Chain A
Amino acid sequence: MKAKKISALLLAGAMSLSLLQGCGQSAGQEAGQETESGTDESSVEATAEDGSDEAEASESSDSQPEDTKESGGITFPLEEPVTLTMFNTVGDASEYTLEDSIFMQKMEERTNVHWEFIDVPVSELTEKKGVILNSGDYPDVFMKAALGAADYDSGCFIDLTDLIKEYAPNLSALLDKNNAWDVYKYSDGNLYATQLFQTPGRQASYMLINTVWLENLGLEKPATVEEWYNVLKAFKEQDADGDGDPNNEIPFMLAGSDEYSASCIPNYFGINFNGCWGDYAVSDDKEKVFFWPASEEWKEVLTYLRAMYDEGILYNDCFNTSNEQMEALGQSGHAYGCFFLRNTGTIENVVGMDKAKEYDVLLPFDGYPVAGNDGMAGNTFAITDACEYPEIVMAWVDYLYTEEGSILARLGIEGETYKVDEDGMWSWITDGKYGADVSTAITVRQDSHGNAPGIVTDFETYSKYVDSEDYSASLKFEYDKYIFENDMLLPQFPRYVMTAEEAETQTLVRADIVPYWRQYLAQVVTGQLDLEESWRDYRQKMNDMGLDRLEEAMNAAYGRYKQQ
């Protein structure tokens, strides 16, 4: 009896212990981390002090190129290594990590800053980011994390204005030059993230058409909406790919989200929009800005898409198809007559290597110009208040705003990952240890999946980017050259600055209105709703959700912008 009692007691004790174990463990780990960072701290403080002395010394004596030297009071490489953590976005199917990239290895050699990465697949970005930020245990830096109002509102990020001025001379100069200090300020007046500066260009995805199919049917490249519709209709009705079966073509392909979806179409129908990730546009007379999914032009797009869906021109399961499924479908031999390609994407990735060269670019219909992009993007790199050495981080990232750093980040090292020919054109090295083909070699890029901090130099972009192996890149190069030379580029969507109140309105209204217009698109195109009958209700419902308030806020901000 006694033994039984004791064993029961033990059992109960063990059970309650195991309950508590979870908490105990994490507490222990935290303690461990604290001591770790504790040692870091002491070592770096020493470095920072030494560093400033050395910086002064080096300024007077040596003749290093300006951009590899010190910024502010920080001299790289640091005498004692520092370890910091970074939140970073990677591709969904990507096996490549930033940690293994030649760029990060070189940067570590150069600076003695070691990064530990939290790599998050792009499709889980929003959720993971929110959870990590709000758990209170967040990393020092968020890179390529598509940060927005919700993230900044958490209060976890620090204002970078003074840090940039002091420790990032290159970035600071770029912000001065582009007059962009205010543009990227959050509505509370703080600047939370650094930017990306590229050569100005197009806004977003461009439409591609299968030229072999056009030839097979004796058709011309369509230049108007009507012609486009008729060409796709011919793709559907006739045996465009010439294999004897008139029914196995997919004349027009769209996929569920963003860069492959219907939200890329507006520019082709005469809307000067802010890209397929946004849903704003500016009127042709530049008088006002508006939410294009509520516009009459969008209604016209819907009319065409509806007809196309009905006649089997548009892929019938397109609203159920993810971007990855679309790529898989294309690579498994389903040929597309027409589809959208995002700027950083490759045709090979969508239709497979052997068919890629069949495609050519379509310009917006009826001679409408191409929506332009001034090449700036915000929210690329932000520092949290968990970071103990924001000045080191700022000096670190400033290197990416130099030509040398930018090339290291995007191309790697000359002779190892890329080569330059006698005309000054560069191309990937595909026989070396960094990949046997372009699609592998390209993974040295630090900026895959999301806007990365830094600049993109002319050397890297279209002006010199030619590569016979990389068909997508050379096609894009020709296309960009054409629209540039023919003056077909519209200015960037206005970069107005909203007040805190306007920004709050925008956030609240968009939370309802954005899922709604996407849902309406799917319903109308598939015929669940009749466009003519439901359009009024659709507009009315959007107004109920606050469309008026949203457009009012946008235009108030735009009005102030115009007066400047």
Chain B
Amino acid sequence: MKKRIWKDLRKNWLLWVMFLPVFLYYIIFSYTPMYGILLAFKDYKTKKGIWGSGWVGLKHFERLFSAYNFELILGNTIGISLYSLCVSFPLAILFALMLNYLRLSKLKKTVQMVSYAPHFISNVVVCGMLSIFLDPNNGIVNGFLNSMGIASVAFLSQPGMFKTIYVLSGVWQGLGWSAIIYISALAGVDYQLHEAAIIDGATKLQRIQHVDIPAISPTITMLLILNLGSLMGVGFEKVYLLQNDLNFNASDIIATYTYRVGMVNQDYGYSTAVGLFNTVINLVLLITANTTARKVNGEGLW
């Protein structure tokens, strides 16, 4: 084994050198900070530092699991991200397939560009726009509803609507962007297959079903696994910015809880424990998804 690595190193040293920056990047920015996980098992005091602070065992985890709102934040985190996944994941595929069948390449390019432009608007601005548009008194949406004779709805004050607002605005933000990868996969489909299908008299839907979908299914599987792996990692920014006392029951997620505990109350040990719990679940999900995918259709990330 050792010998083989040495041999490879001597032979492909150039490749190894090119790999070096990436290697360093992960060591410095991803693995080195990981020792901070220790905080989850310590009673952190700034002055004493990470090593110097006293061990407290699983105290922080016990506190988390017995917290009155533990079920709520866990439920909200999973709820928001599953909802988001179920809506935006298929929509991106549909959108890519639709674009793929557009004849006019100019129209196709324009639609594609317009649809991924919102991706570049920062979350702060998007949330500002949302709260202006959805304002119950002066907002454009309620203005429209009023003109139709419907009474104003205080969208952001309703816990029941929070997840939908979050997911739909997320679709608007991310649809074009997440479709890009499918569009490029579709562009790689050999046109001869389509020609053969057309000669056999296949309709467009049949061509999608039997030519396009099988061609992009590895991509779909891969992205699905990746998405499941970040299921617990609902974007903090947007939820935090849209959160208020009224939709709190639907909008308090693990990330915002960590923020409150860690940044506001400076309870770093507990905050790290909550974050670590989140990450462990993510990891378990990722591994499960990958194993399942490999068993079911023989494809996986590793």
Q: A residues within 8 Å of B by Cβ?
A: 5, 8-9, 11-12, 15-16, 19-20, 23, 126-127, 130-131, 133-134, 136, 150-151, 153-156, 256, 316-317, 319-320, 385, 507, 511-512, 515, 518-519, 521-523, 526, 528, 541, 544-545
Contact = CB atoms under 8 A, between A and B. Distances in A.
Contacts of A320: 131, 154, 156-157, 244, 246
B281 to A, nearest CB: 22
A156 B263 CA distance: 17
Interface size band for B:
35 or more
A317 B47 contact: no
Interface string B114-140: 000000000000000001000111000
Given A8-B18, A150-B265, A155-B46, A526 B25 contact: no
A9 B154 contact: no
B298 interface: no
Contacts of B69: 512
B197 to A, nearest CB: 44
A238 to B, nearest CB: 21
Contact of A15 (B21, B261, B263): B21
A490 B17 CA distance: 76
B296 interface: no
Contacts of A545: 68
Nearest to A322: B244
- Interface SS of A by simple majority: helix
Interface string B136-156: 110000000000000000101
A134 B137 contact: no
A130 B264 contact: yes
B48 interface: yes
Given A20-B28, A317-B137, A522-B246, 9 more contacts: A126-B263, A131-B263, A134-B46, A150-B267, A153-B45, A522-B248, A526-B157, A528-B159, A544-B68
A130 B67 CA distance: 23
A9 B17 contact: yes
Contact of A127 (B14, B46, B68, B263): B263
B266 interface: yes
Among B45, B68, B156, which residue has the most Cβ atoms of chain A within 10 A?
B68
B268 interface: yes
B46 A156 contact: yes
Given A12-B20, A19-B25, A134 B268 contact: yes
B245 A9 contact: no
A127 B264 contact: yes
A304 B95 CA distance: 52
7 contacts: A5-B14, A9-B17, A126-B263, A155-B47, A156-B47, A317-B137, A523-B246
Nearest to B259: A127
B244 to A, nearest CB: 5
Nearest to A155: B47
A319 B21 contact: no
B279 interface: no
B291 interface: no
Contact of A151 (B68, B245, B249, B266): B266
Interface in B214-265: 244-246, 248-249, 260-261, 263-265
Contact of B14 (A8, A154, A511): A8
A511 B261 contact: yes
Contact of B67 (A131, A153, A316, A512): A512
Nearest to B29: A19
Among A151, A156, A522, which residue has the most Cβ atoms of chain B within 10 A?
A522
A372 to B, nearest CB: 30
Contacts of A541: 68
B24 interface: yes
A228 to B, nearest CB: 24
Given A155-B46, A320-B244, A528-B246, A512 B266 contact: no
Contacts of A519: 245-246, 248-249
Contacts of B25: 19
A512 B248 CA distance: 13
B26 to A, nearest CB: 11
Contact of B266 (A20, A134, A316): A134
Among A126, A154, A320, A523, which residue has the most Cβ atoms of chain B within 10 A?
A320
Contacts of B246: 319-320, 519, 522-523, 526, 528
Nearest to A334: B137
Given A134-B46, A544-B68, A511 B245 contact: no
Given A154-B266, A545-B68, A521 B159 contact: no
